[in-house]
Chains A and B, each alone.
Chain A
């Protein structure tokens, strides 16, 4: 069913700016005609499938100021063009935010992590194959969801918060960033906007054609992670069909602040179950002040999956998510950090 990848992309005008200022100028000038390309892993699928035919492609690979990881007063700032390999291997990230290093290190394959970027991983589009094949579904501006019909193949799709479209967010780093209370730095023209990672991602109810709040003209320049959750107890687990080069069926990221065996504060986020990373605030409230044990984990797992509405072929995600949440609370004996 996936579209055949062809060899020749549609013609477009290519720009390779070397500064953020030039990039913003180009995006302002070309507006909705411009396609922003980071590592190209999402972009080239669209272009080679000839589903998207942008008039202008703005390649960010030469913008040096978008690369690198900086210490930021106990936290860190990661440039949007920093590769996933750099994120997963960087000493500062591993020391303070092992959760993100772990999540970035589990993305796809080594080759893809060498090319894929932090900004690209959180901004990538949905992987629903009906959508990626160019079918005129809601997300593509049409009036139907082909993945939510009695005969659809929807094993990888949403079990929560489906609103016409049932695609899921495919990012591995996104739930980790939300668990770490990260902020996304977005620039447009001469203005800068800093948005909590949780609000950066949008569901289909709010905007059915986008997974993030990025609009034409916007440029994600960096991800800032405050020091608040540095060095806490982390847990990340990704379940996928094969152990490399695959998107998560479900993944879970948790950051827990514990005093002894008692959870004083927790942030839990699951991805692959909804169109935006699914933060479990009710579970976070439930586990606050409780012992980090089997009983709490069991209650957390039960609560996490309440309200799930599986499709024809993805009911397995309910027990899977429940198990992952239990493990995130209970821990597998050792934490990521």
Chain B
């Protein structure tokens, strides 16, 4: 299996061209194998929510909580679905031709890329000024939660902290999407200098061959990365024990009981 493809430039130099499409198949197969492995594991895995007796007690203690608790604002949901649409359009327009579905994909691909870029810029502003910015980030402070979650994965009722607004898996996924997304956007914008669009004046010599080669490789790696990430995301969104999170991304709210079952009310203080 090749990882990248090389070419000899007119000046006799070996330059990177792009990733090998073998990596796309590797990401696709890897994603599917992960689904099978995780799905099999989950058949035997214990549930991670709080014991019902403890939740009953917490409900009594927090009688003032509303019946429905807002998890995602309308604006945040719109952003999520616009971004999801753009991501899916990007992945399909880039990889359908690789698997033999031929169509004029470049135009749709860069249009979707612009939509993604716009939505990400909006999200950065929105998250910075109108959301709890740090609630999605992971850092050393999350190590106790990671340990506790790991123990719970193995069926041990660990006493460690429950998640705040976002489960650790959510936050790690966000981090992966952030790295891959910014890599894809930055490399994609540079690649647009080599195609005709009404947005930039075409300049194929903006960078040297080696720099363009690296840019194409970064774009390809982030692209195949997204294949795996999207497979995992859709899989988790459809898993029965996670479906309450998916519904909250559609309708915006979760029930009081879901809030208390899955979250630490002290780390995510629900608005009343």
Point out which of B97, B104, B105, B216 has the most chain A C-beta atoms below 10 A from its C-beta: B104
Q: Which of A144, A162, A203, A205 has the most CB of B within 10 A?
A: A144
The distance from the CB of A34 to the nearest CB of chain B, in whole angstroms, is: 19
Q: Which of A135, A141, A144, A206 interacts with B204 by CB under 8 Å?
A: A144
Report the separation of the CA atoms of residues A142 and B18 in the bound assembly, to the nearest whole angstrom: 8
Kindly state the separation between the CA atoms of A202 and B102 in the bound complex, as whole angstroms: 10
Cross-interface CB contact of A206 among B8, B104, B213, cutoff 8 Å = B104
Segment of A59-67, A114-122, A145-153, A217-225 in the binding face: A145-153
B window 164-210: CB within 8 A of A: 194-196, 202, 204-205, 209
A147 to chain B, nearest CB (A): 10
Is there a chain A Cβ closer than 8 Å to B212's Cβ? yes
Are A164 and B106 in contact, CB atoms less than 8 angstroms apart?
yes
CA distance A136 to B16 in the complex (A): 11
- In the complex, what distance in Å separates the CA atom of A309 from the CA atom of B205? 20
Contacts of B195 in A (CB 8 A): 163-164
Asked if A149 contacts B17 (CB within 8 A), the reply is no
B104-A163 in contact (CB<8A)? yes
State whether the Cβ of B251 lies closer than 8 Å to any Cβ in chain A.
no
Give chain A residues whose Cβ lies under 8 Å from the Cβ of B10. 133, 135, 146
Which B1-53 residues sit within 8 Å CB-CB of chain A? 5, 7-10, 15, 17-18
Is the Cβ of A150 less than 8 Å from the Cβ of B205?
A: yes
Q: Is B103 an interface residue (CB 8 A)?
A: yes
Known: A142-B17, A143-B212. A163 touches B204 (CB 8 A): no
Q: Is A207 an interface residue (CB 8 A)?
A: yes
- B7 engages A142 (CB within 8 Å): yes
What is the total number of residues of chain B having a CB less than 8 Å from a CB of chain A? 25
Q: Are A164 and B17 in contact (CB under 8 A)?
A: no
Question: Would A136 and B204 count as touching, CB distance under 8 A?
Answer: no
B243 contacts the other chain (Cβ, under 8 Å)?
A: no
How far apart sit A144 and B193, CA to CA, in the bound complex (Å)? Answer: 11
0/1 string, A73-96, CB within 8 A of B gives 1:
000000000000000000000000
| Known contacts A142-B17, A163-B104, A205-B107; is-contact A148 B204 (Cβ 8 Å) | yes
0/1 string, A126-166, CB within 8 A of B gives 1: 00000001011000111111101110000000000011100
Contact B102 A136 (CB under 8 A): no
Contact of A143 among B103, B104, B202, B213 (CB under 8 A): B213
Smallest CB–CB gap between B164 and chain A, Å?
A: 44
Find the A residue at minimum CB distance from B215: A143
Interface of A is mostly: loop
Contact yes or no, B106 A136, CB < 8 A? no
Rounded to whole Å, the gap between the CB of A63 and the closest CB of chain B is 28
Q: Are B17 and A205 in contact (CB under 8 A)?
A: no
CB distance from B102 to the nearest CB of A (A): 5
B160 to chain A, nearest CB (A): 49
Complex CA–CA separation, A194 to B8 (angstroms): 39
CB distance from A158 to the nearest CB of B (A): 11
| Docked pose: A206 CA to B103 CA in angstroms | 5
Query: Across the interface, which residues of A come within 8 angstroms of B202, CB to CB?
Result: 148
- CB-CB < 8 A to A163: which residues of B? 104, 106-107, 195-196
**What is the CB-to-nearest-CB distance from A232 to chain B, in angstroms, rounded to a whole number?**
32
Contacting residues of chain A (100-114) with chain B, CB-CB under 8 angstroms: none
Out of A136, A143, A205, which one reaches B194, CB within 8 Å?
A143
Q: Is the CB of B104 within 8 A of A136?
A: no
A145 with B204: CB separation less than 8 A = yes
Please indicate the chain B residues that have their CB under 8 angstroms from the CB of A140 in the complex: 7
Q: Is the CB of A143 within 8 A of B17?
A: yes
Q: Is the CB of A206 within 8 A of B102?
A: yes
Residue on A with the closest CB to B196?
A162
Report how far A202 CA is from B204 CA in the complex, Å. Answer: 24
Please name the residue on chain B nearest to A203 by beta carbon. B104
Contacts of A142 in B (CB 8 A): 7, 17
What's the minimum C-beta distance from A312 to chain B, rounded to whole angstroms? 12
Residue picked from A143, A144, A145, A206, most chain B C-beta under 10 Å: A143
A136 and B205 form a contact (CB under 8 A): no
Report the minimal beta-carbon distance from B16 to chain A, rounded to whole angstroms. Answer: 9
20 A-B pairs with CB atoms under 8 Å apart are A133-B10, A135-B10, A136-B15, A141-B7, A141-B17, A143-B17, A143-B18, A143-B194, A143-B213, A143-B216, A145-B194, A145-B204, A149-B204, A163-B106, A163-B107, A164-B106, A164-B195, A203-B104, A205-B104, A205-B105
Chain B contacts to A: CB under 8 angstroms: 5, 7-10, 15, 17-18, 97, 102-107, 194-196, 202, 204-205, 209, 212-213, 216
The 4 closest A-B CB pairs, nearest first, are A205-B104, A136-B7, A206-B102, A143-B216
* Sample of 4 further A-B pairs with CB below 8 A, known A143-B212, A162-B196, A205-B106: A136-B9, A141-B5, A145-B204, A164-B194
